[in-house]
Structure 1
């Protein structure tokens, strides 16, 4: 089986476009930043841009397209956001109505696409510091949970923050915080460490998105803000129309991880 960890991003995107890869993108093209996708009508785009500026932890902006263009000119000018993600979610009136591998037939001239930073980006640095990343070990999607932490509302958008969780050995938690602090544009430091009930999570074995992973003896659950937050916000706000990536099925950019590191 081909090692996908060091694929050039354009080759990874072509594999996705040709449906040779249809599963979550964790561990693929690990030198390059991955991104969450949100697509909205132009009339809703300002409200969402304001939502991102008010909630930079879960929604760190990497790129915004021109209205009608599926090309992210800042992060991957040779890409097509209609085809270069393994799986998409389509929401109408806050309800998930379809999952699809191609959104070309839904694309319109008034659509604006937002790319948000993704915590998959700092996983290589965690591994380089001998900090385990459980979902990569088990070839699973990262577990993600809705919390009781409200985002700051903006216009028509409001709702709860979503977090991703990684089990970290207790002796390495401080190092994990330090490593991820270098990447504020892909969620940065954790928003919570330890007892999940304090942020409204009742059962780690039942994530709202993604796959459960085991927590071993001596490990602590560590939670990072997650770019799936807009999907929870779409439901809470009953957004008329929104297209997103399916959780864990990210867009792979041409931006190197180290370009997003503070040092």
Structure 2
């Protein structure tokens, strides 16, 4: 997002700007306090297997809404939306290969496609910042770093593959607060799945993320903390090779009208 633009404050405003073609960047920091969602779109004949996959893997794939085959509006979480146009950047995978990264899905849309909206860690970032944790990419054109791990997801039918995590550097004295703050949001990945040594989850080089942009350690007091990530379906697409899977481009989320507190637990 250009620093000259005013940060849009609501989900409907973000979606309007995206649809008009005037916003096409990562969505961290936009519509503060609104739930953002990862997107996975699949043909109806494999949608039930994917729903089971999400049920068996609630940390990386918490389901916020399912849009029925052929429908384009997220009627429960974003009335008036159009999933074909309201994400800043999409990815199209065919048989496990990334074949396109379009701005809209109008040329790829089919009436048999089912859309899954999955919780996103961008939704709890304001809670981290409220606890004094700086997120240098927040509200900028930068993206959070994401890594493919060696943590295997629970298989469902043909769907399987490694979990993806998002990474943030957290000051040592704020780690407990970060866990507490994000634990309140299980539908947007909840508490971290790993704290400390990246190699323990198969990450060999913290300076080379598989998705997003590198985030350099600020000082020796910062600890690497990792949350399950809704980009996991993209690693599953590459591993399982479904005929078609359409997703958001990492960091370019679908922004709903729900408020973070709507999904919070006490």
Contact 2:38–2:254 (8 Å) recurs in 1: yes
The residue aligned with 2:244 is: 241
SS of alignment partner, residue 138 of structure 2: helix
Correspondence for 1:171: 173
Asked if 1 retains the 8 angstrom alpha-carbon contact of 2:92 and 2:99, the reply is yes
Task: Determine the C-alpha separation between the residues in 2 that align with 1:255 and 1:145.
Answer: 28
Mapping 1:155-234, distance limit 5 Å: 155-217=157-219, 218-234=221-237
- Residue 2 (structure 1) aligns with: 5
> 2: CA distance between counterparts of 1:183 and 1:219?
23
1:22-68 Cα deviation digits (max 9, x unpaired): 11101100120000000000001001000000000000000001110
Q: How many residues align?
A: 262
Kept in 2, the 8 Å contact 1:25–1:250? The answer is yes
TM-score (norm 1): 0.98
SS in 2 for 1:148: strand
Deviation at 1:3, TM superposition (A): 2.5
Correspondence for 1:132: 134
Q: Which runs of 4+ in 1 moved over 3 A?
A: none
1:69 maps to 2:71? yes
Distance 1:9 1:137, change over 3 A: closer
Aligned-CA RMSD value: 1.0
TM-fit CA distance, 1:182: 0.2
TM-score w.r.t. structure 2 length? 0.96
Contact 1:134 1:166 in 2 (8 A): no
Distance 2:73 2:151 in 1: 33
Whole-Å Cα distance in 2 between the matches of residues 22 and 138 of structure 1? Answer: 12
**d(CA) in 2 for partners of 1:114 and 1:97?**
20
